[in-house]
Amino acid sequence: GQNIDQPTEMTATEGAIVQINCTYQTSGFNGLFWYQQHAGEAPTFLSYNVLDGLEEKGRFSSFLSRSKGYSYLLLKELQMKDSASYLCAVIDAAGGSQGNLIFGKGTKLSVKP
Amino acid sequence: DGGITQSPKYLFRKEGQNVTLSCEQNLNHDAMYWYRQDPGQGLRLIYYSQIVNDFQKGDIAEGYSVSREKKESFPLTVTSAQKNPTAFYLCASSTGPPWAQFFGPGTRLTVL
């Protein structure tokens, strides 16, 4: 089966570091994405991992372990504007549907002063 | 500027009416997608198209229809057969690998 799990909600303090975890089970794996979605808006692309390890992009980093079916998104120096939902998505490589993403339900992050 | 546009941003319809949501992209992407998002839910795939004149049902295609006559356009019709059409509809496009999907601003449909 195909399943993606991430915590429903998290709270963190401005200036701190927060790690949002994602575990997945898919019949095939061709990469993992993280998206940010502010309330009432469309998701925006944050990061892409296809090989094991850490990808760093400014204040945001994403880590992948394919053997463990695990990823995390690390946000440093949190700002109030980082309050949003963070969606984990995995490429569905099964059935010839190249490019289709399976999305988790998202983690709603609240950053407090 | 390259991007994806959806119109309108807000749409109100009476129950029993069909309604068509527009999605246009000038990114030269081959693949396009339609998702539905309900409060507290993840994105659910309605239809997708990987090439012009071809499209496939997603997980929740019942009550919806699409067409892909041009590479740039992928309109979605919400028919009266869709039992609970009030939702936030998102269109996306991608090319790949790596197949990152880029989203339009969305259309919030309310059926009264």
Express each pLDDT in B36-95 by its tens digit.
Answer: 999 878 899 999 999 999 999 999 999 999 999 999 999 999 998 888 999 999 999 998
From A33's Cα to the closest Cα of chain B, the distance in A is 8
**Given A42, A97, A104, which is nearest B103 (Cβ)?**
A42
The predicted pLDDT at position A92 comes to 74
The predicted pLDDT at position B1 comes to 62
Q: For chains A and B, what is the number of CB pairs under 8 angstroms?
A: 52
Residue A71 binned pLDDT confidence (cut-offs 50, 70, 90): very high
Task: Render pLDDT for A81-107 as a digit per residue (tens, 0 to 9).
Answer: 999 999 999 987 665 556 688 999 999
Task: Report cis status (omega within 30 of 0) of the bond before A113.
Answer: no
What is the C-alpha separation between B20 and A19, in angstroms, rounded? 40
Q: Which two tokens stand for residue B57?
A: 């049902």
Beta pairing, strands A9-13 & A107-112? parallel
Q: Which chain A residues are within 8 Å of B99, Cβ to Cβ?
A: 30-31, 91, 98-99, 101
8 Å CB contact between B76 and B104: no
The predicted pLDDT at position A37 comes to 97
A100, with CB counted inside 10 A (0-12, 13-18, 19+), is buried
Q: Which two tokens stand for residue B47?
A: 């239809």
**Given B42, B98, B103, which is nearest A105 (Cβ)?**
B42
> Is the pLDDT score of B12 beyond 70?
yes
From A113's Cα to the closest Cα of chain B, the distance in A is 25
Dihedral, CA of residue B90, residue A91, residue A58 and residue A39, to nearest 10:
30
Alpha-carbon separation of residue B84 from B65, B81, B89 (angstroms): 15, 9, 13
